[in-house]
Structure 1
């Protein structure tokens, strides 16, 4: 199953422009000049208008939140069947975390399959169809996002309520 991930820490190509980072996301598709590429680029820019405004800017000069948006946009350019998001909230201001999560929800509503690894259990479980709680590398609890949010053990150990 083709997939793309957005690794923890974003890992954009700092010395390349935003546009070049997005082009690299579509590289394996081999259709850089195709109408599909342009439509996919427009879709990423509609999800992340800031990236359109900064398309010529070097990726390394973007804020942390903008770099996270770029990493997700780059993954989307590959047209993956599965998107892996590793700690998309890491190091972001609360307002940007909300914005990134709005985009994740929007992608989910579009029918995209997302595997989300997140330290903020409340956020992740609030949007998850299904979740797994890992402890020392082992699955200890699983269920729907709602079930896990309401599970006493999960709330005490990971959410704090």
Structure 2
């Protein structure tokens, strides 16, 4: 049986999860990638580290509506956030950095071992939700009549 999570329950999972899966599209193909993120109760924030050849950035440029999913296995539940993904303006970078610092799971940066650090671009992006949906998946427990 599946039950809907309330907005408060969805927010709790977003605040407690430091990583999820970001899904983008070029209109034909989908591209998904695990991402650390921050959440401030209003928007999700990401720090993109990339090179000019980045597949993620190529898909980002053609995506009208991005989706981001976090999940937990015990108990089984998930939250999906849909909305627009856009660069954070320079005067809002502190807000983005604070949200990321407070709840992102920051992995070791090891994406291009043969690329010099000065060849990377680092930008903050914000996912402004148009929809936040959460579900909990209840484990089937047979009653005594089924045994």
Task: Sort the TM-score into its range (normalised by shorter chain).
Answer: under 0.3
Q: Of the two, which has the highest radius of gyration?
A: 2
Q: TM-score, normalised on structure 1?
A: 0.24
Name the TM-score, length of structure 2 as normaliser: 0.26
Task: Compare relative contact order (CA 8 Å, sep 6+) and give the higher one, 1 or 2.
Answer: 2
Higher helix content, 1 or 2: 1
Higher strand share goes to which structure?
Answer: 2
